[in-house]
Amino acid sequence: MPKQSTAVLLISCPDQRGLVARVAQFIYQNNGNILHSDHHTDGESGLFLMRIEWELEGFQIPREKLAETFAPQAAELKLTWELHFSDPHSRMAIFVSKQSHCLYDLLWRHSAGELAAELVVVVSNHADLASAVERHGVPFVVFPITTETKKDQEQRELELLSKHRVDLVVLARYMQILSPQIVDRFPHRIINIHHSFLPAFVGARPYHQAHERGVKLIGATAHYATADLDDGPIIEQDVARVSHRDTVEDLVRKGRDLERVVLARAVRLHLERRVLPYGRKTVVFD
């Protein structure tokens, strides 16, 4: 049975009385059937955040007119809002270097239909993983990067992303720091996996740092990429218990399992429009 088409509205605004009722009434008055509704008020900032999803079948406003029809009410309520539809799927690009575990996991989940996205290209600074990607029928493009070529190569990457009309970039252990010229073009649309439970052990070799400190838990963090390294709003995290018996290699092995799962969760949540960033945080309506 084909999956039904839905609309998703993401809202943030200063908290005020009647917000949930006003938005729900707009949908009800136009013959919409609400499937999911969730909201949160941040007590410190007084900010109201909401996700509401409804069926498009039988809805009286055509999808191409929906944004302009809702806009006057949004302006009256002083809403910051985004409107999304469950179809067509987002167009996704994956950036990867030499480590394959996150890439392979995403390729499998995509082929199994777990991710509501069209995977249009995989980009790398090395050719090592080309054959694995091409077996999945996905274009694999290599941009070798050195200090001298980084600016020009990133410009070529941007041109490629524009050509493929990419909506979401996933950094699946891409071992290059993206410059602002890329990050600023995709605000809250670049997801990175960091092999640490942020904000601890930022930067390189976090498992070695964790081993030196004798930690009892290691973690992985998926977050939106910003110009500040490993400092973007966090989407998903998880941890695994370790002990003094574990070597650095054990930590790396356990960490890879975490990285795969955490990145896949974050990508799914983003694609289903369940993540609402605000400030340096996110609300995840799962």
**Rounded Cα gap, residues 280 and 218, in angstroms:** 23
Rg (Cα) of the chain, in Å, rounded?
A: 21
Q: What tokens appear for 55 in the block?
A: 């069926």
**Rounded Cα gap, residues 269 and 115, in angstroms:** 9
Residue with tokens 């499998």: 108
Where are the alpha helices (H) located in 173-247, listed in sequence order?
A: 180-183, 206-213
Burial of 23 (0-12, 13-18, 19+ CB in 10 A): buried
Q: Dmax of the chain from CA atoms? A: 63
**Identity (one letter) of the amino acid at 89?**
H
Residue with tokens 């799914």: 268
Helix (H, G, I), strand (E, B) or coil at 1: coil
Measure the N-to-C terminal CA separation of the chain; round to a whole number of Å: 24
Specify whether 15 is catalytic.
no
Strand pairing partners for 223? 192, 234
Phi, psi of 80 (to 5 degrees): -95, 125
Q: Please tell me which residue in 105, 167, 230, 246 is annotated as part of the active site.
A: 230
Strand pairing partners for 194? 221
Please identify every residue annotated as catalytic.
230
